[in-house]
Structure 1
Protein backbone atom coordinates (compact mmCIF):
# COMPACT_ATOMS: atom_id res chain seq x y z
CA UNK A 1 0.00 0.00 0.00
CA UNK A 2 2.80 2.43 0.91
CA UNK A 3 4.64 1.81 -2.39
CA UNK A 4 1.48 2.64 -4.29
CA UNK A 5 1.07 5.87 -2.34
CA UNK A 6 4.69 6.78 -2.93
CA UNK A 7 4.36 6.19 -6.66
CA UNK A 8 1.20 8.26 -6.78
CA UNK A 9 2.86 10.99 -4.75
CA UNK A 10 5.87 11.13 -7.08
CA UNK A 11 3.78 11.41 -10.24
CA UNK A 12 2.64 15.03 -9.65
CA UNK A 13 6.23 16.03 -8.89
CA UNK A 14 7.47 14.50 -12.13
CA UNK A 15 4.61 16.06 -14.07
CA UNK A 16 5.11 19.45 -12.46
CA UNK A 17 8.84 19.48 -13.10
CA UNK A 18 8.42 18.17 -16.64
CA UNK A 19 5.69 20.69 -17.38
CA UNK A 20 7.76 23.43 -15.78
CA UNK A 21 10.74 22.75 -17.97
CA UNK A 22 8.83 22.23 -21.18
CA UNK A 23 6.30 25.06 -20.98
CA UNK A 24 7.88 27.87 -18.99
CA UNK A 25 10.21 30.22 -20.79
CA UNK A 26 11.40 31.90 -17.62
CA UNK A 27 13.96 30.30 -15.31
CA UNK A 28 12.45 31.98 -12.24
CA UNK A 29 9.15 30.30 -13.01
CA UNK A 30 10.98 26.97 -13.17
CA UNK A 31 12.27 27.56 -9.65
CA UNK A 32 8.75 28.43 -8.55
CA UNK A 33 7.42 25.28 -10.21
CA UNK A 34 10.02 23.21 -8.37
CA UNK A 35 9.04 24.84 -5.08
CA UNK A 36 5.35 24.30 -5.70
CA UNK A 37 5.86 20.67 -6.64
CA UNK A 38 7.91 19.96 -3.52
CA UNK A 39 5.44 21.81 -1.32
CA UNK A 40 2.64 19.70 -2.78
CA UNK A 41 4.63 16.56 -2.03
CA UNK A 42 5.14 17.72 1.56
CA UNK A 43 1.38 18.20 1.92
CA UNK A 44 0.75 14.71 0.58
CA UNK A 45 3.37 13.18 2.87
CA UNK A 46 1.84 14.99 5.85
CA UNK A 47 -1.60 13.73 4.84
CA UNK A 48 -0.35 10.14 4.98
CA UNK A 49 1.96 10.61 7.98
CA UNK A 50 5.10 9.74 6.05
CA UNK A 51 7.54 11.57 8.32
CA UNK A 52 10.73 10.28 6.70
CA UNK A 53 9.52 11.55 3.34
CA UNK A 54 8.59 14.90 4.89
CA UNK A 55 12.12 15.32 6.23
CA UNK A 56 13.64 14.53 2.82
CA UNK A 57 11.26 16.84 1.01
CA UNK A 58 11.90 19.69 3.42
CA UNK A 59 15.61 19.27 2.78
CA UNK A 60 14.96 19.31 -0.97
CA UNK A 61 12.85 22.45 -0.58
CA UNK A 62 15.58 24.19 1.37
CA UNK A 63 18.07 23.25 -1.37
CA UNK A 64 15.78 24.70 -4.04
CA UNK A 65 15.27 27.85 -1.97
CA UNK A 66 19.01 28.21 -1.39
CA UNK A 67 20.33 27.31 -4.83
CA UNK A 68 17.65 27.65 -7.51
CA UNK A 69 18.35 30.80 -9.49
CA UNK A 70 17.96 31.86 -13.08
CA UNK A 71 21.63 31.03 -13.58
CA UNK A 72 21.42 27.63 -11.93
CA UNK A 73 18.41 26.59 -14.00
CA UNK A 74 20.21 27.70 -17.16
CA UNK A 75 23.37 25.88 -16.06
CA UNK A 76 21.38 22.71 -15.33
CA UNK A 77 19.81 22.90 -18.79
CA UNK A 78 23.27 23.32 -20.36
CA UNK A 79 24.58 20.33 -18.40
CA UNK A 80 21.61 18.25 -19.51
CA UNK A 81 22.28 19.08 -23.17
CA UNK A 82 25.99 18.28 -22.81
CA UNK A 83 25.24 15.00 -21.05
CA UNK A 84 22.78 13.95 -23.75
CA UNK A 85 25.23 14.94 -26.51
CA UNK A 86 27.85 12.72 -24.90
CA UNK A 87 25.36 9.90 -24.44
CA UNK A 88 24.32 10.17 -28.09
CA UNK A 89 27.95 10.10 -29.26
CA UNK A 90 28.53 6.95 -27.21
CA UNK A 91 25.40 5.31 -28.59
CA UNK A 92 26.37 6.23 -32.15
CA UNK A 93 29.77 4.63 -31.53
CA UNK A 94 27.97 1.49 -30.33
CA UNK A 95 25.88 1.51 -33.52
CA UNK A 96 29.02 1.70 -35.66
CA UNK A 97 30.61 -1.18 -33.75
CA UNK A 98 27.54 -3.37 -34.20
CA UNK A 99 27.43 -2.47 -37.90
CA UNK A 100 31.05 -3.63 -38.20
CA UNK A 101 30.21 -6.88 -36.38
CA UNK A 102 27.23 -7.36 -38.69
CA UNK A 103 29.34 -6.83 -41.82
CA UNK A 104 31.88 -9.34 -40.51
CA UNK A 105 29.16 -11.92 -39.81
CA UNK A 106 27.68 -11.34 -43.27
CA UNK A 107 31.11 -11.78 -44.88
CA UNK A 108 31.55 -15.10 -43.06
CA UNK A 109 28.04 -16.19 -44.02
CA UNK A 110 27.13 -16.91 -40.37
CA UNK A 111 23.32 -16.60 -40.48
CA UNK A 112 22.94 -16.99 -36.71
CA UNK A 113 25.36 -14.13 -35.97
CA UNK A 114 23.87 -12.01 -38.77
CA UNK A 115 20.44 -12.31 -37.14
CA UNK A 116 21.92 -11.58 -33.71
CA UNK A 117 23.71 -8.44 -34.91
CA UNK A 118 20.71 -7.25 -36.92
CA UNK A 119 18.57 -7.43 -33.80
CA UNK A 120 21.27 -5.73 -31.74
CA UNK A 121 21.64 -3.02 -34.40
CA UNK A 122 17.91 -2.29 -34.34
CA UNK A 123 18.00 -1.98 -30.54
CA UNK A 124 21.01 0.35 -30.60
CA UNK A 125 19.47 2.49 -33.34
CA UNK A 126 16.20 2.73 -31.39
CA UNK A 127 18.17 3.80 -28.31
CA UNK A 128 20.02 6.41 -30.37
CA UNK A 129 16.74 7.75 -31.77
CA UNK A 130 15.29 8.01 -28.27
CA UNK A 131 18.36 9.95 -27.10
CA UNK A 132 18.06 12.21 -30.17
CA UNK A 133 14.49 13.05 -29.17
CA UNK A 134 15.53 13.76 -25.57
CA UNK A 135 18.37 15.95 -26.86
CA UNK A 136 16.03 17.83 -29.18
CA UNK A 137 13.72 18.54 -26.22
CA UNK A 138 16.62 19.54 -23.97
CA UNK A 139 17.95 21.93 -26.63
CA UNK A 140 14.50 23.49 -27.00
CA UNK A 141 14.26 23.94 -23.23
CA UNK A 142 17.71 25.51 -23.16
CA UNK A 143 16.82 27.85 -26.01
CA UNK A 144 13.65 28.96 -24.20
CA UNK A 145 15.69 29.71 -21.06
CA UNK A 146 18.24 31.76 -23.01
CA UNK A 147 15.61 34.17 -24.36
Structure 2
Protein backbone atom coordinates (compact mmCIF):
# COMPACT_ATOMS: atom_id res chain seq x y z
CA UNK A 1 0.00 0.00 0.00
CA UNK A 2 2.77 2.44 0.96
CA UNK A 3 4.73 1.66 -2.21
CA UNK A 4 1.65 2.26 -4.33
CA UNK A 5 0.97 5.59 -2.64
CA UNK A 6 4.60 6.68 -2.92
CA UNK A 7 4.75 5.60 -6.56
CA UNK A 8 1.63 7.64 -7.25
CA UNK A 9 3.00 10.74 -5.52
CA UNK A 10 6.51 10.71 -7.03
CA UNK A 11 5.54 11.91 -10.53
CA UNK A 12 3.84 14.95 -9.02
CA UNK A 13 6.85 15.73 -6.86
CA UNK A 14 9.16 15.36 -9.85
CA UNK A 15 6.95 17.55 -12.00
CA UNK A 16 6.78 20.24 -9.35
CA UNK A 17 10.56 20.29 -9.07
CA UNK A 18 11.15 20.54 -12.82
CA UNK A 19 8.37 23.09 -13.27
CA UNK A 20 10.64 25.73 -11.79
CA UNK A 21 13.71 24.64 -13.73
CA UNK A 22 13.25 27.41 -16.28
CA UNK A 23 13.97 30.08 -13.69
CA UNK A 24 16.75 28.40 -11.73
CA UNK A 25 20.45 28.93 -12.23
CA UNK A 26 22.25 26.06 -13.93
CA UNK A 27 23.91 24.67 -10.80
CA UNK A 28 20.53 24.46 -9.06
CA UNK A 29 19.01 22.72 -12.08
CA UNK A 30 21.84 20.17 -12.14
CA UNK A 31 21.48 19.56 -8.42
CA UNK A 32 17.71 19.14 -8.67
CA UNK A 33 18.02 16.68 -11.54
CA UNK A 34 20.63 14.63 -9.68
CA UNK A 35 18.34 14.49 -6.66
CA UNK A 36 15.43 13.40 -8.84
CA UNK A 37 17.60 10.70 -10.43
CA UNK A 38 18.50 9.34 -6.98
CA UNK A 39 14.84 9.28 -5.97
CA UNK A 40 13.83 7.50 -9.17
CA UNK A 41 16.64 4.97 -8.66
CA UNK A 42 15.48 4.31 -5.10
CA UNK A 43 12.05 3.40 -6.41
CA UNK A 44 13.38 1.36 -9.31
CA UNK A 45 11.85 3.62 -11.95
CA UNK A 46 14.36 2.93 -14.73
CA UNK A 47 12.41 4.80 -17.41
CA UNK A 48 12.32 7.92 -15.27
CA UNK A 49 16.04 7.54 -14.49
CA UNK A 50 16.87 7.39 -18.22
CA UNK A 51 14.69 10.41 -18.97
CA UNK A 52 16.21 12.42 -16.14
CA UNK A 53 19.74 11.45 -17.15
CA UNK A 54 18.97 12.71 -20.65
CA UNK A 55 17.66 15.96 -19.20
CA UNK A 56 20.76 16.26 -17.02
CA UNK A 57 23.03 15.78 -20.02
CA UNK A 58 21.13 18.51 -21.90
CA UNK A 59 21.36 20.91 -18.97
CA UNK A 60 25.07 20.24 -18.53
CA UNK A 61 25.70 20.70 -22.25
CA UNK A 62 23.56 23.76 -22.93
CA UNK A 63 22.63 25.60 -19.78
CA UNK A 64 24.30 28.93 -19.11
CA UNK A 65 23.43 31.33 -16.34
CA UNK A 66 23.33 34.15 -18.91
CA UNK A 67 20.79 32.15 -20.91
CA UNK A 68 18.73 31.61 -17.78
CA UNK A 69 18.74 35.35 -17.10
CA UNK A 70 17.62 36.04 -20.68
CA UNK A 71 14.82 33.50 -20.34
CA UNK A 72 13.71 35.10 -17.07
CA UNK A 73 13.81 38.58 -18.65
CA UNK A 74 11.61 37.36 -21.52
CA UNK A 75 9.23 35.87 -18.98
CA UNK A 76 9.02 39.21 -17.14
CA UNK A 77 8.29 40.98 -20.44
CA UNK A 78 5.56 38.47 -21.28
CA UNK A 79 4.01 38.93 -17.84
CA UNK A 80 4.16 42.72 -18.23
CA UNK A 81 2.27 42.38 -21.53
CA UNK A 82 -0.30 40.17 -19.80
CA UNK A 83 -0.77 42.82 -17.10
CA UNK A 84 -1.24 45.55 -19.72
CA UNK A 85 -3.87 43.47 -21.52
CA UNK A 86 -5.67 42.76 -18.24
CA UNK A 87 -5.61 46.48 -17.40
CA UNK A 88 -7.16 47.25 -20.78
CA UNK A 89 -9.88 44.68 -20.11
CA UNK A 90 -10.63 46.27 -16.73
CA UNK A 91 -10.88 49.70 -18.36
CA UNK A 92 -13.24 48.34 -21.03
CA UNK A 93 -15.42 46.65 -18.43
CA UNK A 94 -15.51 49.85 -16.36
CA UNK A 95 -16.56 51.82 -19.47
CA UNK A 96 -19.41 49.37 -20.06
CA UNK A 97 -20.43 49.77 -16.42
CA UNK A 98 -20.52 53.56 -16.79
CA UNK A 99 -22.66 53.19 -19.92
CA UNK A 100 -25.10 50.92 -18.09
CA UNK A 101 -25.20 53.37 -15.18
CA UNK A 102 -25.91 56.26 -17.59
CA UNK A 103 -28.86 54.30 -19.00
CA UNK A 104 -29.96 53.49 -15.46
CA UNK A 105 -30.53 49.84 -16.43
CA UNK A 106 -30.33 47.83 -13.20
CA UNK A 107 -29.93 44.47 -14.93
CA UNK A 108 -27.07 45.68 -17.13
CA UNK A 109 -25.45 47.49 -14.20
CA UNK A 110 -25.40 44.27 -12.18
CA UNK A 111 -23.96 42.31 -15.10
CA UNK A 112 -21.35 45.01 -15.78
CA UNK A 113 -20.33 45.13 -12.11
CA UNK A 114 -19.78 41.37 -12.18
CA UNK A 115 -17.64 41.74 -15.30
CA UNK A 116 -15.57 44.49 -13.69
CA UNK A 117 -15.06 42.34 -10.60
CA UNK A 118 -14.06 39.34 -12.74
CA UNK A 119 -11.61 41.40 -14.80
CA UNK A 120 -10.10 42.91 -11.63
CA UNK A 121 -9.57 39.40 -10.22
CA UNK A 122 -7.81 38.38 -13.43
CA UNK A 123 -5.67 41.52 -13.26
CA UNK A 124 -4.63 40.65 -9.70
CA UNK A 125 -3.64 37.16 -10.87
CA UNK A 126 -1.57 38.60 -13.72
CA UNK A 127 0.11 41.04 -11.34
CA UNK A 128 0.95 38.19 -8.96
CA UNK A 129 2.44 36.25 -11.88
CA UNK A 130 4.49 39.31 -12.83
CA UNK A 131 5.80 39.76 -9.28
CA UNK A 132 6.79 36.10 -9.21
CA UNK A 133 8.63 36.40 -12.54
CA UNK A 134 10.38 39.54 -11.31
CA UNK A 135 11.45 37.75 -8.12
CA UNK A 136 12.81 34.86 -10.17
CA UNK A 137 14.77 37.27 -12.33
CA UNK A 138 16.14 39.09 -9.29
CA UNK A 139 17.22 35.77 -7.76
CA UNK A 140 19.05 34.81 -10.94
CA UNK A 141 20.84 38.14 -11.10
CA UNK A 142 21.99 37.64 -7.54
TM over 0.5: yes
Which runs of 5 or more residues in structure 2 are unaligned? none
Aligned residues: 137
**Structure 1: runs of 5+ lacking an equivalent:** 22-29
Q: Is the 8 A contact 1:106 1:114 kept in 2?
A: yes
Would you say 1:126 and 2:124 are equivalent positions?
A: no
1:25 is matched with none
C-alpha change, 1:49 and 1:108, in structure 2 (3 Å) is farther
Coordinate RMSD, CA, aligned:
2.7
Q: 2:93 aligns with which of 88, 91, 98?
A: 98
Q: In 1, distance between residues paired with 2:14 and 2:139? A: 29
Cα separation, 2, equivalents of 1:121 and 1:97: 9
Partners of 1:117 and 1:90 lie apart in 2 by: 18
Shift of 1:92: 1.1
Residues 1-147 of structure 1 aligned to structure 2 (within 5 Å): 1=5, 2-11=7-16, 13=17, 21=24, 30-143=25-138, 145-146=140-141
> 1:32: Cα distance to partner?
0.8
